[in-house]
């Protein structure tokens, strides 16, 4: 249901105060008001997107519309001012690409009038004949004729035609074309606000007027017309017109109309642009056609439009491949530009950055290539600085992909020089590109000259030259409106003849001038190619050339400097260092004539980015902080440039536009008080951008905000939105509820930064409006919108966000986490690193922070140990706690502890797990200890040998160090009776492997006198228990005499116990009590009938 106008609600509210009014009368009144509301509903719906300021739609650029507003007293006329005298600077043209030496400027009419906003078209059948249309007025500027028709049959030296409108007076915005059938066409905004087209079949003597499209609601604005003159096109002769709809169902979109019968009838498509989702509107459309009938429409995108205007932020494009019957989805072919419409120039005139396109319809190498030019503040994508430069982009695949923006003007950067109103054309006979623009490089900031630029190598390089004879001081045309002195220039070419047309005021009033020139016709090198030997920097250039009379040599240029000449079609150059180099090769002829150039850009070296780590994850206890970093490494040979942005979610193209109704007597924002922002006693407007005012909000804190209503009504409401996650969208959870204080003009609320807010700069939007749905975007009939800047101190801080890394160097980017006042949760974002590495232009580093109430980190002093080595475990818990409980366990099982720093002796690889609790929260962590295998040493079993035997003991080759009990340090040793004689030898060895782990083994070797030994019975000696405490049993078999001798010695050979007569029991078991022996290893020797039997025994008390 359509809402009633606010003053109706106010009226009803007042009625309720009249207690004695009959309710039936009230119902009748309400019914009448509802009928009125429905009657007005359609008009309100139509105008919902229109940006009005004092009753004027400020988006509209048409002078006819603004003059009507001035007649109504809504805006002022341009005042009468004294035009500064022009300064003659000469008519000579100095350019290799031009053979015309002297080209005096010629006014397009001698009739007293003003001529501005220029369109020019060369007859495709005769390059000496051209048609020009301008916005025309009489000399007093009290009569506006609109788009007229002026023409020349003498290559622009003599001009004819009428200053009045082409066939009819009209609203202006001229566009001129000529068909292959000889018919002349002029397009304009007609007096009803629609699209008009006049055509003439008798070279301008008479005109027939047709309507190409109706008024969409308010007016059709900033139109352009083109004709398909390609002989290879199935749509040759088709006429195309495009414009911006102001008002109506398709408000702010690009409309299109086509004619297949030479302009007699037209078919309208009201919207070819909506797929780009312009935040505010699309405007400044320009049409061109390709060799096979392709239609290309390009325009400026405005993503915001406050009442004071906004700069162009992107370029949109739509393509039709069937003569305009259907269109492919429109797209943004370049984003993040900054035009000049709102920022303006230092000249006293209104300006814009509407894009202009041309297509190469020649049979050259760049056939079908599309070129688009516009004026940009600073470098596109950076968009800062005082320079305004002309840029061009190129597509060789019908708009599928585009080159990087190339700056056309070559004057020194950083001096604040301004170049604007560029227009481009491509000669269909030779493919030479030509461009015109205003330029102030040689004059002061209030003045201008007119420059042209030619490119003979498909836009790779440009040669500039001054084309105007004077410098002049732009000024608004008195009697017109909105600082108007024309909104665009014109240029067109055919068969080498180029016709630039512009407006200046050298005569004391605005007049259009033409300065024709002829491009250089001499043969030039073509198909320049080059290869660089990476190891040496030697560059081999090759090109093609068709030699003609008068040729002398080729001149080779590197980065604009002449470096050599040759008569060959190849050249070898040694590059001085790594970098990007531009080569141009020209042909030089007698009489000092130099051809246009064939150009190429070559790069020696690479930009190679390496980023570490590939992700960052941290767990923090609430209330703590941590520091991390990202390393950006340049492993290439050229300088690495990078910038970093944080991607919490997909970003919008830009913040949505929003505005209110404004106007006297309506509610508006008169004051905002929050933090460091104290912005009071402000005026009423639809929208105001206060981004220069900022305050800092810290996550975990709260901030009171007061918004003052300058003209309060009972049903007014207020909303505050802050883009906490930085995605350039005001999400539902980012709104702060505001309450009206009864009886006052104040709204109050409390701002609580969202826990997931990322540190950095973001936007705060405030809106006051009348009753209805409260949204951060869109236009409302009443109220006002203001934007402010907020600096957020959140969970993540990353800096610096851009940098330059020299070859071989590393830059470090701080990534700091802050868990102060954060609830327990997981916070994530992605650091998107954009660089000039052509193969890796985007690198993403996921960043995650997990916040907890308690966190334990398990550590061990050695993660890899030998069996039986002591380790110290540590459970580290950041923060301050009254009591902490520790529980350690292991896998495999066997280890437990309740200490914060326990000790363990692992013999196998083990996971140690610790759980820590403060009684309410708990945390678990683990640490792994790898137990290395000990080196295996096996000396074999104990043995007895004859005294004459030599025996080799081998400790194996698993170790690198050996220490024998004999003092040996080699892998093997030899034992015999030479030193020790007969008896028992106890031998052991300790080894160390490459990991530092120790191995051990021992052996008992008995050397006996084998001479005359009699055969003996089998004998078995057993000792148990073993180990024991010095008390043990001896089990014997086959004791011949019933008694035996028992002696115990230590490892040094000293006896510690001896009993010469021990009786054997019937069971063969005898008990022995040695008394108190020290812990250690002993040898038990049992002697029976002259034979010794030995057994090792371990004593452990």
Q: Which domain holds residue 1092?
A: 943-1099
Q: For residues 22 and 386, give the distance between their C-alpha atoms in angstroms, rounded to a whole number.
A: 68
Indicate if 895 and 1028 belong to the same structural domain: no
CA angle 417, 421, 424 (to 5 degrees): 115
Indicate if 795 and 864 belong to the same structural domain: no
Q: For residues 444 and 417, give the distance between their C-alpha atoms in angstroms, rounded to a whole number.
A: 9
Residues 6+ apart with CB under 8 A from 137: 113, 114, 143, 144, 145, 477, 479, 480
Specify the DSSP class assigned to residue 958. S
* CATH code for position 1042: 2.60.40.1930
Query: Which of 392, 456, 466, 496 is closest to 584 using CA atoms?
Result: 456
pLDDT of the residue at 35: 35
pLDDT of the residue at 49: 36
Q: For residues 381 and 882, give the distance between their C-alpha atoms in angstroms, rounded to a whole number.
A: 55
Q: Evaluate whether 781 touches 666 at the Cβ level (below 8 Å).
A: no
Q: Residue 988's CB: how many other CB atoms inside 10 A?
A: 17
Indicate if 778 and 830 belong to the same structural domain: yes
Q: Is 35 helix (H, G, I), strand (E, B) or coil?
A: helix
Q: Evaluate whether 539 touches 574 at the Cβ level (below 8 Å).
A: yes
Kind of pairing, strands 470-471 and 52-53?
Answer: unpaired
* CATH code for position 548: 2.60.40.10
Number of domains in the chain: 4
| Residue 995 lies inside a defined structural domain of this protein | yes
| Residue 1077 lies inside a defined structural domain of this protein | yes
Question: Of the candidates 813, 845, 877, which is a domain's last residue?
Answer: 845
Indicate if 897 and 1010 belong to the same structural domain: no
Beta bridge partners of 992: 961, 998
- Main-chain dihedrals φ then ψ at residue 306, nearest 5 degrees: -65, 170
Residue with tokens 């040979």: 637
Task: State in Å, rounded, how far the first CA of the chain is from the last one.
Answer: 101
Indicate if 969 and 913 belong to the same structural domain: no
Residue with tokens 């004689």: 981
| Residue 1023 lies inside a defined structural domain of this protein | yes
Q: Residue 632's CB: how many other CB atoms inside 10 A?
A: 22
Counted residue by residue, the chain has a size of 1101
Q: Quick one: tokens of 706? A: 């007061």
Alpha carbon distances (Å) from 788 to 80, 330, 551, 767, 785? 39, 32, 66, 12, 10
Indicate if 754 and 626 belong to the same structural domain: yes
Q: Evaluate whether 754 touches 734 at the Cβ level (below 8 Å).
A: yes
Question: Of the candidates 868, 897, 931, which is a domain's last residue?
Answer: 931
Taking each helix axis from N to C end, the angle separating 6-15 and 23-46, rounded to the nearest 10 degrees, works out to 170
| Residue 981 lies inside a defined structural domain of this protein | yes
Put the strands of the sheet holding 356-359 in their side by side order: 356-359, 370-377, 388-395, 406-407
Residue with tokens 């009443």: 782
Q: For residues 374 and 377, give the distance between their C-alpha atoms in angstroms, rounded to a whole number.
A: 10
Indicate if 595 and 626 belong to the same structural domain: no
Beta bridge partners of 591: none
Q: For residues 487 and 354, give the distance between their C-alpha atoms in angstroms, rounded to a whole number.
A: 9
Question: Of the candidates 810, 825, 845, which is a domain's last residue?
Answer: 845
Residue with tokens 């600096």: 791
In 892-970, the DSSP E strands lie at 903-904, 910-917, 922-931, 943-946, 951-954, 961-964
Beta bridge partners of 177: 185
Q: Quick one: tokens of 964? A: 């024998």
DSSP 437-472: EEE-TTS-TT-BEEEEEEESSTTSS-EEEE--SEEB
Q: Evaluate whether 219 touches 246 at the Cβ level (below 8 Å).
A: yes
* Per-residue b or e along 88-112, where b marks 16 or more CB atoms closer than 10 Å to that residue's CB: eeebebebbbbebeebebbbbbebe
| Residue 695 lies inside a defined structural domain of this protein | yes
Question: Which residues in the chain land under pLDDT 50?
Answer: 1-50, 649-653, 1013-1018
Indicate if 817 and 754 belong to the same structural domain: yes
Residue with tokens 């509610």: 667
Q: Quick one: tokens of 670? A: 């008169």
Query: Which of 218, 225, 236 is closest to 196 using CA atoms?
Result: 225
Indicate if 696 and 779 belong to the same structural domain: yes
Q: Quick one: tokens of 448? A: 């201008």
Give the 3-state secondary structure of 1011-1033. Answer: CCCCCCCCCCEEEECCCECCEEE
Q: For residues 547 and 544, give the distance between their C-alpha atoms in angstroms, rounded to a whole number.
A: 10
Query: Which of 1093, 1084, 1086, 1100 is closest to 1051 using CA atoms?
Result: 1084
Alpha carbon distances (Å) from 956 to 530, 944, 972, 973, 1000? 67, 22, 8, 11, 11
Q: For residues 478 and 475, give the distance between their C-alpha atoms in angstroms, rounded to a whole number.
A: 9
421: left (phi over 0), alpha (psi -120 to 50) or beta: left
| Residue 165 lies inside a defined structural domain of this protein | no
Reported as a single tens digit per residue, the pLDDT across 858-906 is 999 999 999 999 999 999 998 788 899 999 999 999 999 999 999 999 9
Reported as a single tens digit per residue, the pLDDT across 496-527 is 999 999 999 999 999 999 999 999 877 888 88
Q: Is 8 helix (H, G, I), strand (E, B) or coil?
A: helix
Beta bridge partners of 684: none
Q: For residues 64 and 50, give the distance between their C-alpha atoms in angstroms, rounded to a whole number.
A: 18
Q: Is 70 helix (H, G, I), strand (E, B) or coil?
A: helix
CA Rg value for the chain:
47
| Residue 200 lies inside a defined structural domain of this protein | no
| Residue 883 lies inside a defined structural domain of this protein | yes
CA angle 908, 911, 916 (to 5 degrees): 145
Q: Quick one: tokens of 936? A: 């295996």
pLDDT of the residue at 5: 40
Q: Quick one: tokens of 683? A: 């005026």
Alpha carbon distances (Å) from 573 to 537, 543, 637? 8, 14, 19
Return the H-helix or E-strand segment holding 141. none
Handedness of CA 1027, 1030, 1033, 1034 (dihedral sign): positive
Indicate if 1011 and 1049 belong to the same structural domain: yes
453: left (phi over 0), alpha (psi -120 to 50) or beta: beta
Measured in whole angstroms, how far is the alpha carbon of residue 406 from the centre of its chain? 20
Q: Percentage helix, strand, coil, to 5, in the chain?
A: 5, 45, 50
Query: Which of 1052, 1047, 1050 is closest to 1081 using CA atoms?
Result: 1050
Residues 6+ apart with CB under 8 A from 48: 251, 778, 779
Indicate if 896 and 983 belong to the same structural domain: no
Measured in whole angstroms, how far is the alpha carbon of residue 782 from the centre of its chain? 37
Beta bridge partners of 1087: 1045, 1092
Indicate if 924 and 951 belong to the same structural domain: no
pLDDT of the residue at 224: 98
931: left (phi over 0), alpha (psi -120 to 50) or beta: beta
């Amino acid at each position: 249901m359509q809402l009633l106008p606010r003053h109706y609600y106010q009226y009803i509210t007042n009625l309720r105060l009249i207690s004695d009014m009959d309710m039936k009368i009230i119902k009748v009144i309400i019914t009448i008001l509802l009928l009125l509301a429905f009657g007005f509903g359609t008009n309100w719906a139509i105008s919902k997107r229109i940006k009005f300021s004092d009753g004027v739609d400020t988006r509209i650029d048409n002078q006819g519309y603004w003059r009507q507003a001035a007649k109504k007293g809504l805006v002022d006329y341009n005042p009468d001012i004294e035009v500064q005298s022009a300064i003659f600077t000469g008519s000579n043209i100095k350019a290799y690409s031009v053979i015309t030496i002297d080209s005096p400027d010629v006014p397009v009419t001698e009739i007293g009038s003003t001529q501005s906003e220029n369109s020019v078209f060369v007859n495709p059948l005769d390059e000496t004949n051209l048609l020009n249309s301008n916005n025309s007025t009489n000399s007093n500027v009290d009569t506006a004729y609109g788009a007229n028709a002026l023409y020349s049959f003498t290559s622009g030296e003599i001009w004819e035609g009428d200053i009045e409108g082409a066939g009819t007076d009209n609203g202006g915005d001229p566009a001129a074309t000529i068909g292959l059938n000889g018919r002349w066409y002029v397009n304009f905004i007609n007096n009803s606000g629609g699209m008009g087209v006049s055509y003439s079949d008798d070279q301008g003597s008479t005109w027939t007027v047709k309507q190409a499209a109706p008024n969409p609601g308010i007016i059709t604005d900033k139109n352009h017309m083109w004709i398909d003159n390609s002989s290879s096109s199935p749509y040759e002769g088709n006429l195309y017109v495009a414009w911006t709809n102001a008002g109506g169902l398709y408000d702010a979109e690009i409309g299109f109309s086509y004619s297949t019968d030479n302009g007699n009838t037209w078919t309208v498509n009201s919207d070819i642009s909506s797929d780009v989702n312009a935040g505010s509107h699309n405007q400044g459309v320009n049409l061109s056609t390709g060799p096979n009938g392709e239609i290309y429409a390009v325009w400026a995108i405005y993503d915001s439009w406050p009442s004071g205007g906004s700069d162009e932020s992107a370029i949109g494009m739509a393509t039709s491949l069937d003569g305009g019957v259907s269109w492919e989805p429109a797209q943004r072919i370049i984003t993040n530009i900054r035009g000049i419409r709102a920022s303006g120039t230092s000249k006293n005139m209104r300006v814009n950055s509407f894009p202009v396109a041309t297509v190469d319809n020649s049979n050259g190498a760049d056939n079908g290539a599309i070129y688009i030019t516009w004026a940009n503040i600073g470098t596109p994508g950076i968009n800062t600085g005082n320079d305004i430069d002309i840029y061009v982009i190129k597509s060789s695949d019908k708009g599928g992909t585009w080159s990087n923006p190339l700056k056309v003007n070559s004057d020194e950067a950083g001096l604040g020089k301004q170049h604007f109103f560029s227009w481009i054309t491509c000669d269909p006979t030779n493919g030479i590109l030509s461009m015109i623009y205003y330029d102030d490089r040689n004059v002061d900031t209030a003045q201008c000259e007119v420059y042209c630029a030619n490119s003979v190598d498909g836009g790779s390089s440009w040669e500039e030259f001054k084309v105007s004879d004077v410098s002049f001081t732009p000024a608004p045309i008195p009697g017109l409106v909105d600082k108007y002195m024309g909104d665009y220039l014109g240029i067109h070419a055919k068969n080498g003849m180029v016709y630039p047309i512009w407006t200046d005021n050298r005569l004391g009033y605005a007049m259009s001038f033409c300065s024709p020139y002829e491009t250089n016709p001499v043969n030039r090198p073509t198909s320049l190619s080059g290869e660089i030997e990476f190891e040496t920097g030697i560059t081999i250039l090759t090109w093609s050339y068709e030699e003609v009379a008068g040729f002398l040599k080729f001149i080779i240029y590197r980065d604009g400097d002449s470096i050599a000449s040759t008569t060959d079609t190849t050249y070898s150059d040694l590059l001085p260092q790594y970098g990007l180099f531009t080569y141009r090769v020209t042909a030089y002829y007698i009489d000092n004539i130099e051809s246009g150039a064939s150009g190429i850009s070559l790069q020696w070296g690479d930009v190679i980015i390496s980023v570490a780590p590939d992700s960052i994850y941290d767990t923090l206890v609430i209330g703590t902080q941590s520091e991390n970093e990202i390393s950006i490494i340049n492993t290439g040979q050229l300088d690495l440039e990078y910038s970093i942005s944080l991607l919490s979610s997909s970003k919008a193209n830009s913040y949505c536009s929003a505005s209110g109704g404004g106007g006297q007597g309506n509610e508006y924002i008169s004051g905002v008080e929050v933090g460091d922002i104290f912005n009071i006693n402000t005026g009423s407007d639809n929208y105001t951008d206060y981004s220069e005012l900022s305050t800092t909000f810290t996550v975990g804190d709260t901030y009171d905000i007061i918004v003052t209503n300058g003209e309060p009504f009972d049903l007014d409401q207020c909303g505050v939105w802050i883009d906490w996650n930085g995605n350039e969208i005001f999400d539902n959870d980012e709104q702060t509820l505001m309450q009206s204080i009864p009886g006052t003009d104040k709204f109050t609320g409390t701002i609580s930064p969202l826990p997931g807010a990322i540190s950095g700069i973001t936007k705060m939007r405030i809106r006051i409006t009348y009753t209805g749905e409260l949204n951060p975007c869109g236009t409302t009939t009443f109220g006002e919108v203001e934007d402010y800047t907020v600096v957020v101190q959140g969970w993540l801080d990353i800096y610096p966000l851009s940098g330059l890394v020299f070859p071989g160097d590393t830059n470090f980017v701080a990534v700091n986490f802050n868990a102060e006042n954060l609830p327990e949760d997981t916070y994530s974002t992605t650091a998107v690193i954009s660089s000039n590495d052509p193969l890796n232009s985007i690198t993403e580093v996921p960043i995650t922070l997990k916040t907890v109430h308690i966190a334990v980190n398990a550590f061990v002093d050695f993660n890899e140990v030998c069996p039986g080595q002591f380790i110290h475990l540590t459970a580290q818990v950041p923060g301050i706690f009254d009591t902490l409980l520790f529980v350690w366990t292991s896998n495999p099982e066997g280890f437990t502890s309740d200490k914060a720093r326990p000790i363990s002796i692992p013999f196998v690889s083990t996971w140690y797990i610790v759980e820590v609790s403060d009684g309410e929260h708990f945390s678990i962590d683990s640490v792994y200890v790898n137990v290395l295998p000990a080196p295996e040493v096996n000396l074999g079993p104990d043995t007895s040998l004859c005294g004459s035997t030599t025996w080799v003991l081998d400790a194996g080759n698993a170790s690198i160090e050996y220490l024998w009990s004999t003092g040996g340090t080699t892998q093997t040793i030899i034992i015999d009776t030479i030193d020790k004689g007969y008896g028992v030898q106890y031998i052991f060895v300790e080894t160390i492997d490459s990991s530092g782990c120790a191995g051990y083994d021992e052996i008992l070797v008995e050397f006996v006198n084998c001479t005359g030994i009699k055969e003996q019975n089998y004998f078995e000696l057993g000792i148990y228990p073993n180990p024991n405490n010095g008390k043990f049993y001896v089990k014997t078999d086959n004791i011949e005499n019933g008694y035996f001798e028992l002696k115990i010695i230590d490892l040094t050979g000293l006896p510690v116990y001896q009993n010469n007569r021990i009786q054997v029991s019937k069971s063969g078991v005898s008990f022995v009590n040695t008394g108190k022996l020290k812990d250690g290893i002993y040898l038990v020797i049992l002697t029976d009938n002259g034979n010794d039997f030995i057994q090792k025994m371990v004593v452990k008390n």
